[in-house]
Amino acid sequence: MNTNNKLQAVLFDVDGTLADTEQDGHRLAFNAAFKQFDLDWDWDIDLYGELLQITGGKERIRFYLEKYRPAELNRTDLKEWIAGLHKTKTKHFESLMEAGSIPLRPGVARLIHELRREKIKLAIATTTTMENVTALLRSTLGEEAIGWFDVIGAGDIVPLKKPAPDIYHWVLDQLKLTASQCIAVEDSENGLKSALAANLPTLITVSGYTRSQDFSGAVAVLSDLGEPSQPFTQIAGPALEKGWVDHTILSNWANR
């Protein structure tokens, strides 16, 4: 029987954390949707890095309009039009996933399988859509992988997205656990702020777009989760004896 001070659940972000989906996944899917809508927009790598400061795909489109295409804001059906554009983008992203174009990051599959063996609950807390989560898990871990997660908090299930803590509060409520019984795994400053605001100890594995962000308050900052054959690079936090994250290390961080 688990006691209250034993790690009982690991809460994963998705984009940039489970897989490096942003640059060669979501960005390409947005551009494909723009083309389908006969828009001459092109979100290049640098611009998309700027837009990633806004969490949520529909919110990102609106921010882009406000800053770069203000005339588009005059549409009478603006909210519905953005939703339709985003839905088309999601279909393009799912196609990329189904083609196996985006693998899981180092250590992710290993850690998920280990946590299952140790009977530690798995959860997802993300601003991306449920369709995107499903497509990624199915294409990388198999059809049955969705059922491995006790709770999946995704998309518009809460009104305020990261850095607000709402998605983490929702997931914790569904798990019926306290923050002290869990640990979050994130890749971005917004994700860290969200998890910390929910009082969750948080591990950061940086991704291409987030490397230079401020991760003050994280239990550790690593290049990735690491593998025995491919150790992570430690960027911040107390020195670790081995180069891959396992359930014991997560438990120690959660109980600090």
Question: Is 15 considered catalytic here?
Answer: yes
The whole-angstrom separation of Cα 139 and Cα 104 is 10
Q: Which of 252, 192, 181 is nearest to 218 (CA)?
A: 192
Q: Which of 63, 78, 80, 59 is nearest to 127 (CA)?
A: 59
What is the chain's Cα-based Rg? Answer: 18
Helix or strand (DSSP H, E) at 137? helix 130-141
Q: Which of 13, 20, 166, 224 is catalytic?
A: 13
DSSP 8-state class, residue 19: B
Q: Which of 92, 153, 151, 146 is nearest to 122 (CA)?
A: 151
Q: Which of 15, 20, 187, 224 is catalytic?
A: 15
| Region at 239 (left for phi over 0; alpha for psi -120 to 50; beta for the rest) | beta
Residue 177: CB partners within 8 Å, gap ≥ 6? 8, 9, 121
Tokens of 36: 């389908």
The whole-angstrom separation of Cα 198 and Cα 19 is 24
Residue 12: count of CB within 10 angstroms of its CB: 22
- Annotated catalytic residues are 13, 15
